[in-house]
Amino acid sequence: MALEITFSDKTFENKKRNPDEFSEIALEIRRDIIKSLYLAKSGHSGGTLGTSDIFSVLFFGGVMKYNPQKPDWKDRDRFVLSAGHLCPVLYSTLARAGFYSPEELYRLRKFGSRLQGHPGFDMKLPGIESSTGSLGQGVSIAVGMAMSDKHADKNNRKVFALTGDGEVEEGTVWEAAMAAAHYKLDNLCWILDNNDCQIDGRVKDVMSIYPVDKKFEAFGFDVINIDGHNYNDIKNAFAKFKSNHESKIGKPTAIIAKTIMGKGVSFMEDKYIWHGNPPNEEQAKIALEDLK
């Protein structure tokens, strides 16, 4: 029997939650990812599944300030997905936050869709703050946003950016890190998705970034190492960043989140071949069964 795909109409409030509540949200996001990638027949599975727990806390745990009914609200915090290929997790998150209907997830990577293979600011998709995809450039844009907020506009907004660990092999990433520390951007939270997988193999084998936490420390960051699937760890890390921001410590924050590529899907977990591959019909059936 052919696989029939439907998307639920669930949305979730952005509020303080107990850790157990995040698992329901993360499961909904993971199901969206599998369904939309299966329909698209292209896209990135591994890292999107691996970061779903982080997104569930960031967007639905009272961490970020945003208003889905007023996406351009001037006092909002901003999120930049520097690892733009992970956009299916962001698209699902924004839909579940109420920025647009989950029905739009049917249109991932379709001609004329607002949900392209990398986030496009020109696609007028609510919640997207910048076009990203050229690795290393998104976090540089986020640093520029944080500089403007802190030193020009002198407001109280926060800027969050997520990079992949393969992405930090790019030189421009470290130029951004150097600038963030030099300009004392304590309003910047840099999240590193550390699954040790990239399209060609293990990060440690292709071009080792380790010890990556010590590198960020050397660049002048307050570094927090966490299990990227432990909701208490994630909540506490964001709380520490909020404290850093409010205390004006003069340092940007780096959260090094140890994650598992393909988390939640048995045949994808910790396998770098799923970096850039979508599931076929049989694989999607197994994945959705795993994600019940």
In sign, the C-alpha dihedral spanning 282, 112, 13, 74 is positive
Predicted local distance difference test score (pLDDT) of residue 19: 86
**Is the predicted pLDDT of residue 69 greater than 80, yes or no?**
yes
Whether the CB-CB separation of 276 and 199 falls below 8 Å is answered with: yes
- Token pair in block for residue 154: 């002198």
Predicted local distance difference test score (pLDDT) of residue 253: 98
**Is the predicted pLDDT of residue 20 greater than 90, yes or no?**
no
Whether the CB-CB separation of 81 and 128 falls below 8 Å is answered with: no
**Is the predicted pLDDT of residue 122 greater than 90, yes or no?**
no
**Is the predicted pLDDT of residue 128 greater than 70, yes or no?**
yes
Q: In the chain, what are the domains?
A: 19-290 (3.40.50.970)
